[in-house]
């Protein structure tokens, strides 16, 4: 049973009695298993004695999207297509802005079911579809363990304030998602045209898309739920026991590497949490804190703060202290060109930048140092914020994600407290190279990154 808190009717239009199918609009939850929205859509189709059609809208215009992101995403969608075909569910990927494709397909649908997104563009898509589709549109939340508005009705100040609220309700939502099966085959159903794309040859498909091709695919990460599950099981088998002690050491490689898969909805956070709890590992608490509280703090942030991608999202104290110190002399000032090409005096920062550029993922602890130094080396905090977001969103596979926007904002004081005042940073937390040297063998990290960069 899907908890009612996950379900939200987005318009007042009733189901269309003449509809020939139920339409599941898959956008954020790009997977065929552990997907509350898909299971809800199947239940609705079965109740109405109709087939189910699944649609994904692929727009080449997604902000900061490039060939690296699209390749990873399309690898996952190939897997979705194969899986749904086995379950007798038609899957269509249309080259169109998603809301337009949904409107076209909804003209013959009894109802539309969709998953949930938290960014401004994702919310706009769903609002537009709800206002323009001539049938009921229902949203089902499947990428948060505790639904966002159930966890909190306002923007939270920090992880500490959200943690109490989530923990009070967590057990109600740590419930397995039971896969539903359709009663009616939709594979041969005739459908309106939505500029359908063929997923069989990704190289041909990527060449046909008007996207930035300068950033190559990641050599380390392949998209899809199967790859995500493999990484999860490897982490649980080999690293979770030591996770609390080793997660901040990039040389130990003891993190899960699941953030790209979570970003594209290729694995369910609920599935991850329940698999983790089965192990009873001493590292469970620290890992679930990151997966649930910290990740859903990011969702809370972008949902309740519409300025999440600008300097204006920061708490008032952070904005004031950074502006007060923006004229402080800097030991170095770098242009976006120099930063992007890792041309700074700091070999540690350069290595972090190169790791992101070449692999599509920077170690989390290094990402904090990376963001702090951009603040230190750019003339104004507002411009530094924009540089950090630009680089993060361009190269990271998990860029453009609630957690990613939150991570950049944290470097500038978000979800943190005032610290001792100092030059440039004011009261915003400071990090320096000596801290890296004390924490782990930073030289080993630099050597490793340089070997494949």
Whether the CB-CB separation of 229 and 267 falls below 8 Å is answered with yes
pLDDT higher than threshold 80 for residue 453: no
Q: How far apart are CA 212 and CA 65, in angstroms?
A: 7
1 — pLDDT class (breaks 50, 70, 90):
confident
Q: How far apart are CA 345 and CA 349, in angstroms?
A: 9
CATH 1.10.579.10 fits 311-452, yes or no: yes
Q: How far apart are CA 28 and CA 211, in angstroms?
A: 20
- Give the mean model confidence (pLDDT) for residues 420-430: 98
Cβ neighbours for 87, distance < 8 A, ≥ 6 positions apart: 32, 181, 182
pLDDT (tens digit, 9 = 90+) per residue, 321-350?
999 999 999 999 999 999 999 999 999 999
Instruction: Report domain extents, the chain.
Output: 311-452
Q: How far apart are CA 104 and CA 239, in angstroms?
A: 47
- Give the mean model confidence (pLDDT) for residues 78-96: 97
pLDDT higher than threshold 90 for residue 298: yes
Sheet holding 109-114, edge to edge: 7-9, 136-140, 109-114, 21-25, 52-58, 90-95
Q: How far apart are CA 424 and CA 323, in angstroms?
A: 9
Residue 134 confidence (pLDDT): 92
Whether the CB-CB separation of 125 and 25 falls below 8 Å is answered with no
Question: What are the residue ranges of helices labelled H in 170-224?
Answer: 202-208
Q: How many CA atoms lie within 13 A of 194 on its CB side?
A: 27
Global pTM value: 0.97
Length of the chain: 453
Q: Which residue do the tokens 């983790």 mark?
A: 276
pLDDT higher than threshold 70 for residue 41: yes
**Kind of pairing, strands 52-58 and 136-140?**
unpaired
pLDDT higher than threshold 80 for residue 309: yes
């Amino acid at each position: 049973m899907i908890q009612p808190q996950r379900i939200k009717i987005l318009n007042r239009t009733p189901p269309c009695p003449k509809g020939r199918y139920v339409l599941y609009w898959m956008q954020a939850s790009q997977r065929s298993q552990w997907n509350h929205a898909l299971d809800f859509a199947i239940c609705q189709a079965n109740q109405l004695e109709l087939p189910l059609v699944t649609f994904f809208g692929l727009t080449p215009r997604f902000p900061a999207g490039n060939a690296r992101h699209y390749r990873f995403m399309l690898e996952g969608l190939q897997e979705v297509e194969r899986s749904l075909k086995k379950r007798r569910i038609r899957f269509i990927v249309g080259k169109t802005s998603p809301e337009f494709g949904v409107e076209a397909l909804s003209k013959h649908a009894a109802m539309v079911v969709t998953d949930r997104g938290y960014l401004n563009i994702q919310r706009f898509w769903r609002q537009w579809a709800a206002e323009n589709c001539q049938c009921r549109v229902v949203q089902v939340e499947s990428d948060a363990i505790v639904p966002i508005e159930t966890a909190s009705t306002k923007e939270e100040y920090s992880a500490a304030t959200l943690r109490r609220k989530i923990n009070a309700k967590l057990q109600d939502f740590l419930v397995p998602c039971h896969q539903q099966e359709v009663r009616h085959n939709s594979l041969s159903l005739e459908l309106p045209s939505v500029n359908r794309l063929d997923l069989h040859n990704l190289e041909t498909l990527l060449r046909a898309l008007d996207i930035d091709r300068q950033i190559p695919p990641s050599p380390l990460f392949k998209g899809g739920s199967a790859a995500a599950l493999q990484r999860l099981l490897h982490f649980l088998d080999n690293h979770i026991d030591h996770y609390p002690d080793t997660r901040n050491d990039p040389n130990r490689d003891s993190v899960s590497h699941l953030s790209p898969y979570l970003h594209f909805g290729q694995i369910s956070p609920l599935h991850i949490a329940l698999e983790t709890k089965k192990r009873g590992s001493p590292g469970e608490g620290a890992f679930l804190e990151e997966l649930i509280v910290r990740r859903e703090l990011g969702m809370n942030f972008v949902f309740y703060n519409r300025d999440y991608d600008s300097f204006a999202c920061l708490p008032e104290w952070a904005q004031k202290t950074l502006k007060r110190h923006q004229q402080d002399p800097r030991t170095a000032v770098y242009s976006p060109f120099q930063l992007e090409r890792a041309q700074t005096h700091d070999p540690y920062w350069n290595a972090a930048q190169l790791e992101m550029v070449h692999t599509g993922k920077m170690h989390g602890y290094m990402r904090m140092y990376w963001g702090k130094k951009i603040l230190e080396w750019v003339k104004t905090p507002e411009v530094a914020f924009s540089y950090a977001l630009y680089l993060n969103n361009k190269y990271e596979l998990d860029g453009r994600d609630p957690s990613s926007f939150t991570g950049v904002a944290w470097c500038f004081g978000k979800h943190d407290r005032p610290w001792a005042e100092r030059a440039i940073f004011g009261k915003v937390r400071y990090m320096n190279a000596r801290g890296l040297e004390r924490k782990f063998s930073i030289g080993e990290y630099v050597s490793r990154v340089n070997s494949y960069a």
